[in-house]
Amino acid sequence: MKKLYQETNLLEFQKKYQSEQDCEKRLFEIRWPQGFVCPSCGHHEYYFVSKRKLYQCRNCRHQASLTAGTVMHGTRTPLLIWFWAIYMLSTDKRGLSALSFSKKLGISYWRAWTMLQKIRSAMRDRDSKYKLAGIVEMDDAFFGGPKEGGDKRSRGSFKTSGHR
């Protein structure tokens, strides 16, 4: 089965995305793999409105954004931080707290928390499209919880010591 993604290690990622322009270029390639196509009229010619970072169709003047329809839509956070955030979250098996996230990325706790919520939501929405089938293997799982009554050894306890 062919993977829909390519795994990237930390050094490869760092080389690939060194600047905001690298991230913009990659988003452009993902959004328009065969080159710009106006979402309104389908025209291929555009010009870049640098002040607003928008692509404007030469035919109908519709303006399109790289981040429209993504978790980064309307953000003022640089794309480079978003790319690092997504990379960090998707490669860490244990998960990250907003506090450690904010410290690692050098951003405020509130911004880190908001970004984490958006990224996790997008990951959840994407994962919900897939159903498990066949043999499912799990690693480091725990099912169930404490028994009713807990581990207490007093009145009402199900466990008994040798005497009363």
Banded model confidence at residue 64, pLDDT cuts 50, 70, 90: very high
Examine the pLDDT at 21 and tell me if it is beyond 70. yes
Look up residue 12 and give its two tokens: 């490869």
Helix (H) or strand (E) holding 87: helix 79-91
What local confidence, expressed as pLDDT, does residue 37 receive? Answer: 94
What local confidence, expressed as pLDDT, does residue 106 receive? Answer: 96
Highest mean pLDDT of the ranges 22-26, 136-140, 148-152:
22-26
Residue type, 100: S
Q: Distances from the Cα of 26 to the Cαs of 14, 32, 145, in angstroms?
A: 14, 10, 45
Examine the pLDDT at 163 and tell me if it is beyond 90. no
What local confidence, expressed as pLDDT, does residue 139 receive? Answer: 75
What local confidence, expressed as pLDDT, does residue 61 receive? Answer: 96
Mean pLDDT over each residue of the chain, to the nearest integer: 86
What local confidence, expressed as pLDDT, does residue 30 receive? Answer: 92
- Contact between 59 and 81 under an 8 Å Cβ cutoff? The reply is no
- Contact between 122 and 71 under an 8 Å Cβ cutoff? The reply is yes
What local confidence, expressed as pLDDT, does residue 66 receive? Answer: 93
Banded model confidence at residue 73, pLDDT cuts 50, 70, 90: very high
Q: Write 10-18 long-range contacts (CB < 8 A, 24+).
A: 13/87, 17/80, 17/83, 17/84
